Amino acid sequence: MKKEKKSALHISSGTDSPAVYNPELLQKFRRKKHSSEEFIEAIQKGDSVLLSQAITLVESNKESDQAEAEKIVAACLQHKNNSIRIGITGSPGVGKSTFIEFFGKMLIEKGLKVAVLAIDPSSQLSHGSILGDKTRMQELSTNPNAYVRPSAAGDSLGGVARKTRETIYLCEAAGFDVIIIETVGVGQSETAVHSMVDFFLLLLLPNAGDELQGIKRGVVEMADLIAVNKSDGAALAQAKLAKAQYQNALHMFPPKIGGWIPSAELCSGLSGTGIEAIWEKIEAYKKQMSENNYWQKHRAEQAKYWMHESILQHLKDMFYHHPKIKDLLPEIESELIAGKISSFKAARLLLEKFMD
Scan residues 246-275 and list those touching ligand GDP (CB under 6 A).
Answer: 268-270
The vertex-139 CA angle with 137 and 141, nearest 5°, equals: 65
Residues 265 and 214: beta-carbon distance below 8 Å: no
Please select the residue that binds ligand GDP; options are 38, 48, 92, 106, rule is CB under 6 A: 92
Q: Is 214 in the site for ligand GDP (CB under 6 A)?
A: no
Please select the residue that binds ligand GDP; options are 53, 83, 98, 164, rule is CB under 6 A: 98
Q: Which is nearer to ligand GDP, 164 or 229 (CB)?
A: 229
Q: Is 230 in the site for ligand GDP (CB under 6 A)?
A: yes
Q: Is 189 in the site for ligand GDP (CB under 6 A)?
A: no
Q: Which is nearer to ligand GDP, 53 or 91 (CB)?
A: 91
Q: Which residues of 207-231 are buried (b: 16+ CB within 10 A; e: fewer)?
A: eeebeebbbeeebbbbbbbbbbbbb
Q: Is 128 in the site for ligand GDP (CB under 6 A)?
A: no
The closest alpha carbon to 264, from 284, 289, 281, belongs to 281
Q: Is 93 in the site for ligand GDP (CB under 6 A)?
A: yes
Helix axes 157-173, 63-78, angle to 10 degrees: 40
Residues 71 and 65: beta-carbon distance below 8 Å: no
Residues 120 and 130: beta-carbon distance below 8 Å: yes
Rounded least distance, CB 209 to ligand GDP, Å = 18
The closest alpha carbon to 290, from 91, 133, 84, belongs to 84
Q: How far apart are CA 97 and CA 263, in angstroms?
A: 22
Q: How far apart are CA 354 and CA 319, in angstroms?
A: 7
Q: Which is nearer to ligand GDP, 163 or 230 (CB)?
A: 230
Size of the site for ligand GDP (CB under 6 A): 14
Q: Which is nearer to ligand GDP, 46 or 272 (CB)?
A: 272
The CB density around residue 250, as the number of other CB atoms within 10 Å, is 17
Rounded least distance, CB 59 to ligand GDP, Å = 22
Q: How far apart are CA 278 and CA 162, in angstroms?
A: 28
Scan residues 279-318 and list those touching ligand GDP (CB under 6 A).
Answer: none
Q: Which is nearer to ligand GDP, 115 or 266 (CB)?
A: 266
Q: Which is nearer to ligand GDP, 103 or 306 (CB)?
A: 103
Q: Which is nearer to ligand GDP, 113 or 230 (CB)?
A: 230
Please select the residue that binds ligand GDP; options are 89, 151, 164, 229, rule is CB under 6 A: 229
Per CB under 6 A, residues contacting ligand GDP are 90, 92-98, 229-230, 232, 268-270
